[in-house]
Structure 1
Amino acid sequence: MSMATFTLPFFLSLLLLPLFSLLTFAADNTTGTIGINYGRIANNLPPPEKVVALFKSQGINKVKLYDTDAAVLTALANSGINVVVALPNELLSSAANDPSFADQWVQANISHYYPQTQIEAIAVGNEVFADPNNTTKFLVPAITNLQSALVKHNLSSSIKLSSPIALSALQNSYPPSSGSFKPDLIEPAVKPLLDFLSKTSSYLMINAYPFFAYEANADQISLDYALFRTNSGNVDSGNGLRYNSLMEAQLDAVFAAMSALGYDDVKLVVTETGWPSNGDENEIGAGKANAAAYNGNLVKRVLTGGGTPLKPQDPLNVYLFALFNENQKPGPTSERNYGLFYPDEGKVYDIPLTLAGLSGAQTNPVNESKAQVPTTAPSSGNTWCVANANAGDEKLQTALDYACGEGGADCRSIQEGSTCFNPNTLEAHASYAFNSYYQKKARGTGTCDFGGAAYVVAQPPRYGTCEYPTGY
């Protein structure tokens, strides 16, 4: 039944729906998590104890490191912060060729600190496939030996192993449905890695930077599309899914690449993503305004729930890059300007990092030159709930019926002859109803999901001339 013809008696019939289906819409919580990469390639950073205090003050409880520094791991003990540590690329060959080395490394760097320091995963190497030192062949043997060491020390059920890969490991990434890994990587490394992750219920670590894609293709990629802002989106010609952000398209390309190899069960965690607040003249898009917009909108996207168009039920779990601007990093100016904080702990720009911080926050509180100011108005700090067109008409209609019936949404404005009846489409009507329900529930966690039929946006929905309220 379309929204154009519903009547109040029809709503009453919803009471006959199985109770569990209603509870699914109300209680399903697919919100993700936000963590931060704590890099230390700098000579002016505060001591680890002050950094841990900074994490706590910002509500951050997930941190990723690039080593197993003793002072840092000691400072994180009993902090309540979950930690991902790393075995650097230069140790891969030793861990791969010598099981006793792997065992001793785990004993000295993991079991010595765990569980007081809540180590939850080990990143084995970093972007190994792109390592100029040709360490790819050592990756899976090193992971295998480290897993044996974790088993020996009774840590394998608590600590996951994986390895962050760059998007350059893909042969194809556009459209997302055509995602595939480079052929020369598949048999030697990718398939053995995915097989290990599948068997140990671990996840693939992905370093994804829409900034790089935008910088290289600014004449073809919309800035709004790269920054999670309202845009017309792109429809994947291969699967018909609509993408409204470059990040989600990148992740679904990885999902498609894994699926092509038969590993649909392996999940993803974004172990690095960010946007530089400064850059060289030729680094198009670098700047505080865009960095604040990208990271701020990404945090909202993650913490208010839902997955990618291809995997809408899998929450997004993301580690922002990075905590500090690091003054000793080599390369272009952008490399030293990814931090959310200056070394003196002052904010480079102000964005919310927790769900509680989303209310009233702005993602673009800075003024910059015309070339770096976003092309559309920044978010007011409010959020809205809209329909996920990729969920399909049946799921949208069922969720719409629930929202307008048992859910108690105010759906009078989308009845025929009312102010928001046009456009008379299922997506538009469902968006209005979902938003009404979401706002009435005070935008609480899990109230904009409807079994994957809805998601939160940081810009007012645009369906005709209809106004979408932010409170009732």
Structure 2
Amino acid sequence: MATISLSLLLLFFFSLLFASSPSSAGIVGVNYGRVANDLPSPSAVASLLESSGVSHVKLYDSDPAVLHALAGTGVSVTVALPNENLTAAALSPSFASLWVRQSVAAYLPSTRISAVAVGNEVFAVSNSTNNLTSSLVPAMLNILSALSDLGLDKTVKVSSPIALTALQASYPSSAGSFRPDIADSVMKPMLDLIRNTDSFLMVNAYPFFAYESNSDVISLDYALFRPNAGVVDAGTGLKYYSLLDAQLDAVFAAAGRLGFGDVKVSISETGWPSKGDEGETGAGVENAEAYNGNLVRRVLSGNAGTPMKPEADMDVYLFALFNENEKPGPTSERNYGLFYPNQEKVYEVDLALRGGGGGLKWQEARTSAAAGAGARGETWCVANAMAGKERLQRGLDYACGEGGADCGRIQPGKDCYDPATLEAHASFAFNSYYQKKGRLAGTCDFHGAAHVVTQSPKIGKCELPTRA
């Protein structure tokens, strides 16, 4: 265990001071899908978004009732050109121009439209009888040109959400590559457009699908951002503690193979179902709450980079705002919502958080998350390995120094010294501090280096205490 120094303590407290700055964290938004017959009115949804502190919303169309309802709310909106309009937008600049005037310009500035999603998972739905793939980039170019004609191209970004099925290879992450049928013909010009307009690649990523199909080899903790042993990428030696990280880095690697390793990525959809069919392993309220809650806390911590891109912010749009009862497919498809149609929460992921510039405020997020976990019974505070060694060490030094944690048991020769790793010692110190403070909200954080768990952790032969 390292010794305390004044400079380290000052660094730790200054980093805490700036942790909630919007420039040091990504944003969290929601997808507002409407494949249902029992949803509240758009005006009621706008009120729900405001009262819940949701500052970014992604739509799947440009419905006038929704866009009018969002006027004056300050919510940043991504509108969508649906797949059924792709061919027309690709073949006809006048169609694209009319669509932009009617679906974007007509609502500005009252409704804060910040991006256009051109199509959705086009490569996944395109086939020989409905070949939308070849229309994608021409449609994007025509939409961009229409925005430019109106002087909106600098403030309204253009992108297109891709599913991970666009990848030919995704494991290990360093081997990530796009499918040969789209790599040079579609992805390369699309990434070129994105780079030249300072936009971002939209990626729909669902660790649930990978876990559900491979639960015999993928750890649930690895999928839910919980403490785990990690997975090493044999190609780079990088260690992954999150399946979502591994998926994102596969996309970064694929873009890098085409010469676009600097592309920015936004997670346009991700989530976890709160209910599923009998064979849908992992679907359930507890896991959905863990996935979305841990993801939100991580994004807003300002420490949301991946092993391959450690400095990258992570903008995330959770799927979805509501359970949607008319979606086809297995039960899980109808149970991704954060809210029931009656506007009650499906589970506790507190979105009543506002931050400058539209992000959610990390300080309040960690407070409510800890409070929610504490209300359910015994809780412990453990190290977040994804925070990195420097942040773990700063937190450990503070907990054992000024924080007054009982760190005697992790000294050489004592019962909790082994395993003699930074993560193990930090977990013991963080938990000691947390229990000493009566498990008060906000006392398990250490600038994103720790988080609350509700199952008793064991470090070597040492069980972490549940009281000071």
Q: Is TM more than 0.5 here?
A: yes
Measured against aligned partners, the alpha-carbon deviations of 1:125-182 in whole angstroms (never above 9, x if no partner) come to 0001112322111111111111111111111121111110000001111111211111
Offset at residue 35 of structure 1 (A):
1.1
Question: Is the 1:211–1:226 Cα contact (8 Å) retained in structure 2?
Answer: yes
**Letter aligned with residue 448 of structure 1:** H
Amino acid at match of 1:66: Y
Partner of 1:59: 53
CA distance in 1, matches of 2:434, 2:396: 15
- Match for 2:85 among 59, 80, 91? 91
Counterpart residue type for residue 217 of structure 2: Q
Which of 343, 347, 352 lines up with 1:345 in the alignment?
343
Mapped pair 1:102 → 2:113: no
> What residue number does 2:331 align with?
333
Kindly indicate whether the alpha-carbon contact (under 8 Å) linking 1:324 and 1:338 is maintained by their aligned counterparts in 2: yes
Mapped to 2, the partners of 1:198 and 1:470 lie a distance apart of 50
* TM-score normalised per structure 1: 0.81
Instruction: Give runs of aligned pairs for residues 277-296 of structure 1, distance below 5 A.
Output: 277-296=274-293
Counterpart residue number, 2:319:
321
Question: For 1:318-346, what per-residue CA distance to the aligned partner results, in whole angstroms no more than 9, with x for missing partners?
Answer: 11111112122222222222222222222
Q: Assess if the C-alpha contact under 8 Å between 1:206 and 1:269 holds in 2.
A: yes
**Preserved contact between residue 170 and residue 254 of structure 1 (Cα < 8 Å):** yes
What CA deviation, in whole Å up to 9, does each residue of 1:203-241 have, x standing for no partner? 111111112112222222222222223322222212222
Q: Are the aligned partners of 1:386 and 1:434 in contact in 2 as well (CA < 8 Å)?
A: no
Equivalent pair of 2:227/2:384 in contact (CA under 8 Å)? no
**Aligned mate of 1:225, from 222, 226, 232:** 222
2:316 & 2:101 partners in 1: Cα distance? 28
Distance 2:374 2:243 in 1: 18
SS at match of 1:192: helix
- Aligned residue identity for 1:424: A
Deviation at 1:255, TM superposition (A): 1.4
Q: Secondary structure of the equivalent of 2:294?
A: helix
Which residue pairs with 2:300 in the alignment?
303
**Stretch of structure 1 that moved more, 66-75 or 122-131:** 122-131
The whole-number CA distance in structure 2 between the counterparts of 1:350 and 1:141 is 42
**30, 41, 45: which one aligns with 2:35:** 41
Trace 1:36-435 onto structure 2 (pairs within 5 A). Answer: 36-132=30-126, 133-307=130-304, 308-353=306-351, 354=353, 355=365, 357-362=368-373, 384-388=382-386, 391=388, 395=390, 399=394, 408=402, 413=408, 416=412, 421-429=417-425
Q: Are 1:84 and 1:120, in contact at CA under 8 Å, matched by a contact in 2?
A: yes
Contact 1:225 1:231 in 2 (8 A): yes
* Aligned AA (1:337): N
Q: In structure 2, what is the Cα distance between the partners aligned to 1:123 and 1:106? A: 12
1:345-383 per-residue CA deviation (whole Å, 9 max, x = no partner) reads 222223323415323124997xxxxxxxxxxxxx96776
Deviates more, 1:294-303 or 1:170-179: 294-303
Deviation at 1:63, TM superposition (A): 0.8
Aligned 8 A contact 1:438 1:447 in 2: no
Shift of residue 309, structure 1, vs aligned partner: 2.2
Task: State the number of aligned residues.
Answer: 442
SS at structure 2 position matched to 1:289: helix
Tell me which amino acid in the other structure corresponds to 2:66.
V
Report how far residue 430 of structure 1 moved.
5.8
Q: How much does 1:248 deviate?
A: 1.6
**Residues 93 and 135 in structure 1, CA contact (< 8 A), matched pair in contact too:** yes
Shift of 1:119: 0.9
Instruction: Give the TM-score of the pair, scaled to structure 2.
Output: 0.82
8 A Cα contact 1:386 1:435, kept in partner = no
* Structure 2 counterpart SS, 1:357: helix
Q: CA RMSD in A?
A: 3.5
Residue 368 of structure 1: aligned partner: none
Unaligned runs of 5+ in 1: 366-378
Contact between 1:209 and 1:275, CA under 8 Å: does it hold in 2? yes
Cα distance between partner residues in 1 of 2:281 and 2:152: 45
Provide structure 2 residue ranges, at least 5 long, that are not aligned to the other structure. 354-364
Distance 1:22 1:304, change over 3 A: closer
